[in-house]
Amino acid sequence: MEIHDGDGLRTTVFFKGCPLRCIWCHNPESIGFRRQIAFFDQKCISCGTCASLCPSGAIEQTDGFPVIDRSRCSECFICAKNCPVGALEGFGEFWEMDDLLEYVLQDELFFKNSGGGVTLSGGECLAQPAFAIELARRLSEKGISVDIDTCGYAKREIIEEILPYADTFLYDIKAADPAVHKACTGVTNELIISNLRFLAERGAKIEIRYPLVKGYNDGQCDRIGQLLRDIPGVKRVKVLRYHRFAQSRYGALGLSCTLPDTVTGDEDLARAVATLVKYGLDAFTDQ
């Protein structure tokens, strides 16, 4: 029942693993490819169930709270499945193709009646190319709309192979300047822009996503407008508000929190939209 990941009512399949390291990532559980256990200490009642059940001895009770040795964790999620209050949560599931198709197709009627479908997202769905391409192909052959939510940092042959099965690419542009892009994401943007031009040349339907992070990439707005203006067929740009809602998940996953301590306000969003409109783009925000 997603309504922000493309047209109509949609089911979003989140793929684990991403080649970028965006400092503002709001899905930290999707950065790594492996399964991960998260511990939310504010929910814990110190019952000791997790430590007593852990088959690899990766959890010890210290001062009444579980301490996880992540190097010993076997990612079985027995602790999470048996935690009585949901203080432990497992992120990442293994799916067989047929099982996943059966699951998402339960909502086929909603897709067709609302003009919706299935969105492949992440992490980065194209970082697991064989599965993503096969899933998109099989959904497309059943008449289900498929959207690809991507950062665009993928080999050209992957983009080319999934293109026939994709209705819309929800395509991230985080910065136009390569140096700013690398400072914020860990990689430069030449490949991303090259793939965007390729998709536009092939007539793909593209909606640009611009996450606006005040003090980090908001100064890129004019350059992004200039870039997109010169790419035929790219007109629609959704400006996304930055937030820090994922802060607790970083700690729960044992990760250092990289989220910038900044606020993107209504005026910042309106200014970005107005700037992009100047370049003939259909810019908007729904937040």
pLDDT of residue 187: 98
Query: What letter does residue 50 receive in the DSSP assignment?
Result: H
Kindly state the average pLDDT of the residues 74-82: 96
Encode 114-130 in three state secondary structure.
HCCEEEEEECCHHHCHH
Q: Is the pLDDT of residue 173 over 70?
A: yes
Q: Do 187 and 181 form a contact (C-beta atoms < 8 A)?
A: yes
CATH 3.30.70.20-classified regions of the chain: 36-91
Q: What are 215-273's pLDDT values in tens digits?
A: 999 999 999 999 999 998 898 999 999 999 999 999 999 999 999 999 999 999 999 99
Check if CATH label 3.30.70.20 holds for domain 36-91. Answer: yes
Element (H, E) at 277: helix 266-277
> Could you tell me the pTM of the whole model?
0.95
Q: For 10-32+95-284, which CATH class?
A: alpha beta
Identify whether the C-beta of residue 268 lies closer than 8 Å to the C-beta of residue 239. Answer: no
Looking at residue 287, what is its pLDDT? 64
pLDDT of residue 286: 78
Domain with CATH 3.20.20.70 in the chain: 10-32+95-284
pLDDT tens, position by position, 64-75: 899 999 999 999
Mean pLDDT over 43-68 rounds to 95
- What's 220's DSSP letter? G
d(CA 191, CA 160): 14
What is the predicted pLDDT for the residue at 188?
98
| 87 C-beta neighbours (distance < 10 Å), count | 23
**What pLDDT shows up at residue 4?**
82
**In angstroms, how far apart are the furthest CA atoms of the chain?**
62
- Digit-coded pLDDT (tens) for 143-156: 999 999 999 999 99
C-alpha 276/C-alpha 176 separation (Å) is: 13
Q: In the beta sheet, which residues pair with residue 239?
A: 210
Share of the chain above pLDDT 90, in %: 96
**Average pLDDT, stretch 69-88?**
96
Could you give the CA distance from residue 144 to residue 52 in angstroms, rounded to a whole number? 46
